[in-house]
Amino acid sequence: MPGPWELILIFLIIMLIFGAKRIPEIMGGIGKGIRTFKKGLETDDAPPKPQVEPGSPPVERIEPK
């Protein structure tokens, strides 16, 4: 886990690369992505669709000779 001086240094480097105006936009985008991901996890309770249709013929297994 980085210490406080490392975190300050990382923050200053990010400020130099992106500028002070773009950081709130970037953080807002990250927060929105995390919220969307969590919402997707909560609403994904639908049962999986079967891969084979019920009326399709059975698949024959071929054994190697």
Q: Is the pTM of this model over 0.75?
A: no
Predicted local distance difference test score (pLDDT) of residue 29: 92
Higher pLDDT, 51 or 37: 37
CB-side neighbour CA atoms (13 Å) of 21: 0
Phi then psi dihedrals of residue 38, to 5 deg: -65, -40
Q: Retrieve residue 11's tokens.
A: 């923050």
User: How confident is residue 35, by pLDDT bands cut at 50, 70 and 90?
Assistant: very high
pLDDT band at 9 (very low <50, low <70, confident <90, very high): very high
Q: Which two tokens stand for residue 46?
A: 């639908």
Distance between CA 55 and CA 5 in Å, rounded? Answer: 65
Mean pLDDT of the chain: 82
